[in-house]
Structure 1
Amino acid sequence: MARDYRKKAERLGGVLIKVGQFLSTRKDFLPDVFIEELSELVDHVPPMPFEYAEKILQEDWGENIYEHMNYIKKESVASASIGEVYYGVLNNGNEVAIKVRRHRIEEIFHKDFVAMRMVFWILKVFTTFGKKADLKALYNELVTVMERELDYKKEVEFGKYFKERYADMENIHIPEFYEEYSTKRVIVMEWIHGEKITNAAFYREHRLNRQVISKALFDFYVDQFLNPGKFHADPHAGNILLQQDGTVAIIDFGMVGEIKKQDTEYFKLLVQGFIIDNYDIVVDALDKMNFLLPNADKKKIKEVMRDAVELYSDGSLKNLNSQTINQLFDEVTEMVQEQPIQLPADYAYLLRAISIVVGILFAINPDIDIVKWGKDRIRDWFGKSSIIESVAKQYVKNATDPLLSYPRALLNFLESGERDRVWDKEKFHIKMKHQYYLLLETFSFIMVVLGIIIGIYSFSMDVVFIRYFGWSIAGIFFILLNILLLFHRRMIKSKKSKT
C-alpha cells in the first residue's frame, strides 16, 4: 500500500506528493513501513516547458525578461511539484537561481484540497483511525503548510530572516535574495556553487576538515532547535551545500517551522522532569504542548518513558551513535502510535529535522561527540545558575508534598469504605516513605550547593579553614545524596516488582 501510494503520487504529482512528504513527518499517525516509503517520495515530475516559465516571468516583471537578464538556461536544473529552477545571469554579471512556480499549480492544488477534505471526512466518520486522531486539525495544518509553500514571497521572507539571524556565523552562508525580481510566483536568489554536504569525495578533493564543518552545522541547527524563532524544517543533504573553502550554504526555505518562547519553557520543564525523575512533570509539559489528546493514557505514557530512560541511562548514552538514536526514536514512535498522541505540525517538523540533522552529522563525522556538544549547549541554554535553581525549585516543591499529604491522606482514609482501608494504609506508608526520601535528598542537595558556595566564597576571604569546611560539607552531603538516591531507587524498583 505504501509503495503504491508513492508511485501514484510521483506519477500524478501536485498535492499527492506534498501530502506524502507531509505525512512522512507524522510518526504519530503512520506505521514505520509507510514513513520509510514516503520518506523516499521526491518530486519526480516532468520539466515544465520554458514557454510557461517565460510567460510567468514576463507577467510578474511587467516587461521583457531580458531587460534584467543577460542569460537564462532554458533547460531547468531542478523540477519539482510546485516549482521549476533555472540557471541565469543578471545584466550586472551575478549568477542566480530563478525559481518559477509551475503553470496553474495554485488552481490544481485548491481542487485537490476539496477532494482531500472529502477523504478526511470519510476517514473521520467510517474508520477507527478517525476516532483516534484529530483529523480536522491535521487537515488545517496540511493546507496551511502547502499554501505557505505556494507563496514564494514567504520563502524570500524566511530566507532574509535566516540571513540576518546568522550573519555572524563565519562558516554558514545563506544566499542573497533579489527582492526586486521576486514575486509570489518567482524567486531570484544567488547561485550557490557547491556539493551535497555528504559528498565524501568532495572532502578529500579539497582537504576539508570534517570536525570543523560538523561543529558549524551542529551549532547552526541546535540554536534553532533550542531557542525561540524559526527553524529550517527541510535540512536534507540536497539543501545543505558544501563549498570549496569549507563554508556550508543552506538553501530552500520553503519549509520552515517555528518555536515560540512558551515552547522553550515547556522544553525546559521536560528536561527538569527527566533530571529529577518526575514523569508527572514530563507528562504535564507534553499536555501543555498539546501533544496529548483527551483520551490519552497518561499512566501508560509515564511508564514507557521511565523504562526508556532507564534503558538508555545505563551507559548506552556514552556510546551514542546514529543506530542508538534511531532505536530510541523507534521506541518513542511506538508509544506515540499506541497512544492518542498527536503532534502539532511545527513539533512534527522539529522532530523530523532533528533526526535528519543527526543522521547527516554522523554521516560526515562518525567520530562526533554529540553528547558532549549537546550537554554544553543545554547548560548554556538553561544558564549556568538557572538550571540549578530550576531543578532545586522542583525538588523543594516535591519535598513540600509530605506536609500536604497528611491531611489529604487522612481525609481519604475517613471517606473510604472499610474494605479499602487496608490497601489505603499500605499505599499511605509507601507514599510517606517515598516523600521521606525526597525530603532527605532535597536537604542533602541544598547542603551540597551551600557547601560549594561557601568554598567558592572563601577564596575572596582567603580563609583556608572556611574553604576546607565548605568543601567538606559539600563532599559529605554529596556522598549522602548518592546513597539516598541508591536506596530510593531500590525502593521504587521493589515496589514495582510487588505491583
Structure 2
Amino acid sequence: MESKKYIGIYRMYIIIWMSIKFLWKIFWFQKLNRIWDQETERKWEKLLKELATEYRQRAVYLGGLLIKFGQFLSSRGDLLPSSFIRELEGLVDRVQPVPFEYSKGIIEEDWQESMDKYIASIDEDPIASASIGEVYKAYLHNGTPVAVKVQRYRVREIFQTDFKAMRVVFGILNRFTIFGKKADLPSLYKEVVAVMSDELDFTMELENGNYFRKRFENHSNVYIPEYFTDLSTGRVLVMEWVEGTRVTDISFIKRNDLDREKLARTIFDLCVEQFVNAGMFHADPHAGNIMIKEDGTVVVIDFGMVGKVKREDVDHIRSMIEGFIIDDYDRVVDSLREMNFLLDDADTEAMKKMMRRLVSMYLSEDMSKMDATVMNDILEDLQDFVKDQPIQLPADYAFLGRAASMILGVLTAVYPQMDLVSWGKPVINEWMTGSQSKFGFYKNIVKETGQPLLSLPRALVEFLEDGDKEREWQQTKQQQTLWHHFYFFYAAVTFLIGSTILVASFFLPESLQEIPIWVLYLISGLSFAGTFLFSWKHASMIKNIS
C-alpha cells in the first residue's frame, strides 16, 4: 500500500492547514503583545524558530514542492525574518530513496527499451536521493562509468498537487495579511511555479550543463562533467562519472597536499565571473555540488537550479554602483526601477535617505579588514534594508544573494584567511571599466558631473536639512562629494583658460601684440599643467573610493 503522502487531498490538507495555523499563531502573538520590548523580541524569535522547524519537518516528511519551496524561501530576505530564514537554511534536499523498481520503470519507459540494452551494471542503492531525483552509479557496456539521475516516482503529480495548495495559501496571504500590501504575491507565485517546473524537466538541466561546460571550457582548474545526450530524456539524465569528494573535505585536501588558498581563489573567480557578468549562474552552489579531484581540479555538478543575470541589468547595476560612488541616489533608484525591483507604492525619498545612511556607515569602516564574517554582516544588513523597503527581488536576484551567501560559507571552510578585498577589487575594476561595459565608468563619471555647480547647492541643502545626527553619518560622504566636484571644476577651468590663451595667441588684436608670445605660451602651459594635476587627483580619488 502506498504512503498517504501520495494522496492529493491529504497533501493539500497538510499544506493549507499548516499555513493557516502559522498565520493564526502570528496573529495572536501580535494581539497579545502590544508592548514590544526585549522579552517580546525573545518570544517572537522563539516563535519564528518553532514555525520554521515545523515547516522543515513537514517538508522532510512530505518531500515534493515543500523542500524546494523552503529553499526558495531561504533566499527571500526581502520578505521573511532572518531567524526564520536561518532555520530553513538547514533544510537539506535529502529524502528517503524510492525502491529501485520504480526508477528502473521510469528509465525503461523513457528509453522505450530494456535498461540492459545500454547499461551493463548499476548499483541499485542510490548515491544521492533528493526531492526530485535519485542518482545511481552505473557502467555502460564499453566500461564507461556514468551517473544516472532518475526522476522520483510520481514527483510531477505531487508537484502539481502542491502547486494547487500553494495557490490557495498565496490567495489567503494576499487577501488577509499585510504581505498582500508589501509584496506582489501573484507575481511571486508565478515565479515559484516557473522555477520549480523548470527543475522537473531534465532537458533544461541538460541544456544548463552544456552551457556551463562550454562557458568554462578554457578554465584549466575547473571541470564540468559531460552529458550523454542520446541517453538523456525529460526524466532521465546520464552524465560522466567524476571521482572526487566535497570541496570542504579538509582531510582530503591535506592528504593530497593541495594548496587551500589556490583552491579557494579558483572557486572565488569561478563564482564571481558568474555573478557579475550577463548569463546564467549556478543558483545552488553548496559544498555537495562543488567537488574536488585529487589533482586539485574543481568539479561543478547539478545544474537543475540556475539563475540568470540579464544583459541589460548588468548596465543598470553598473549605473547603480556609479550612483553610490558619486552620491547620486536618484540614479540608484532609477536603476532599481528599471530592474523591476520597486513596488508601485515605493517611497523613493525615504529609500534614498536610508541608502545614504547605510553607505555612510560602511564608508566609515576600514574595509581593508573585510573578511567573510564582515561580508555576511553586510549581506544581513542588506536583507534587513530590503525587507523594510518597498522592494521585491525577482527570483533570479534572490537566488543570486543566496548563492553568494553559500559561496562565502564554502570559501570560509576551505581557506578562512582569504582576503576578499584584494581578490575582488581587480575583478570589480575590470568589470566597471572593461570592454563588456556598454559605457566606460570614468566616462560616465565625467558626464554626470559636468555641472558640478548645480550639484553643490543640492548637497549643501541636504546637509543643512539632515540635522546633527545625519551630519555625523554624512561627514565622510560630503567630503568626498565636495572634493570630487572641486577637482573636476578646476580641471575644467584650467583647461578652458589654457585653450583660450593658446587659441588667442594666434589671433591677437593689434593693441596686444606687444605682449611677448612666450608669456602667453607660459600661461597656457601652466594652465594645462593644472588641468593634468587636477585630473590626476580626481581620477585617484575616484579609484580609491571605487
**Fold equivalence (TM over 0.5):** yes
**Match status 1:175 vs 2:225:** yes
The equivalences for 1:52-201 within 5 A come to 52-201=102-251
Contact kept, 8 Å, 1:447 with 1:477, in 2: the verdict is no
Match of 2:489 in 1: 443
Q: Secondary structure at the match of 1:53?
A: helix
Whole-Å separation in 2 of the counterparts to 1:348 and 1:380: 25
DSSP 3-state at the match of 2:308? strand
User: Residue type of the partner of 1:360?
Assistant: V
> 1:363 offset after TM fit, Å?
2.4
> Do the aligned partners of 1:177 and 1:188 also contact (CA within 8 Å) in 2?
yes
| 1:132-281 pair list within 5 angstroms | 132-281=182-331
> Hey, what does 1:412 align to over in structure 2?
none
Aligned to 2:367: 317
What is the CA–CA distance in structure 1 between the aligned matches of 2:61 and 2:261, rounded to whole Å?
A: 41
| Alpha carbons of structure 1 residues 399 and 193: separation in structure 2 relative to 1, 3 Å | farther
Deviation at 1:304, TM superposition (A): 2.2
From the superposition, tell whether residues 449 and 63 of structure 1 become closer, same or farther in structure 2 (CA, over 3 Å): farther
1:328 to 358, 375, 378: 378
Partner residue, 1:381? 431
Identity of aligned residues (%): 43
Distance 2:287 2:354 in 1: 33
- Is the CA contact (8 Å cut-off) linking 2:291 and 2:299 kept in structure 1? yes
| Letter in structure 1 aligned against 2:391 | I
CA distance, structure 1, for counterparts of residue 358 and residue 294 of structure 2 = 42
Deviation track 1:286-343 (CA, whole Å, cap 9, x = no partner) reads 1211111112222222222222222222243110011111111121111111122100
1:282-431 matches, cutoff 5 A: 282-383=332-433, 386-396=440-450
| Distance in 2 between residues matched to 1:72 and 1:447, nearest whole Å | 78
SS at match of 2:230: coil
Matched-pair contact (CA < 8 Å) for 1:88–1:96 = yes
| Structure 1 residues 467 and 9: alpha-carbon distance in aligned structure 2, compared to 1, 3 A threshold | farther
Are the aligned partners of 1:448 and 1:473 in contact in 2 as well (CA < 8 Å)?
Answer: yes
The one-letter code matched in structure 2 to 1:442 is F
Q: Secondary structure at the match of 2:239?
A: strand
Unaligned stretches of 5+ residues in structure 1:
406-422, 428-432, 451-465, 484-499
Alignment gaps of 5+ in structure 2: 1-50, 466-477, 497-523, 542-546
1: distance between equivalents of 2:455 and 2:526?
35
Distance 2:495 2:274 in 1: 32
Taking structure 1 as reference, are residues 441 and 202 closer, same or farther at Cα in structure 2, changes over 3 Å only? same
Tell me how many residue pairs correspond in the alignment: 445
- Shift in alpha-carbon separation, 1:70–1:36, aligned structure 2, 3 A: same
Letter in 2 for 1:109: F
* Separation in 2, partners of 1:330, 1:480: 33
TM-score for both structures, normalised by structure 2? 0.76
Equivalent-residue separation in structure 2 for 1:151 and 1:141 (angstroms): 16
Check whether the contact 1:448–1:474 (CA below 8 A) recurs between aligned residues.
Answer: no
Equivalent residues of 1:448, 1:477 under 8 A apart: no
With over 3 angstroms needed to count, the CA separation of the structure-2 counterparts of 1:387 and 1:110, relative to structure 1, is: same
Contact 2:495 2:527 in 1 (8 A): no
**1:399/1:438 contact within 8 Å kept:** no
Judge conservation of contact 1:2–1:34 (CA < 8 Å) in 2.
yes
Instruction: Using the TM superposition, name which of 282-291 and 230-239 deviates more.
Output: 282-291
Deviation at 1:398, TM superposition (A): 5.5
Shift of 1:445: 5.7
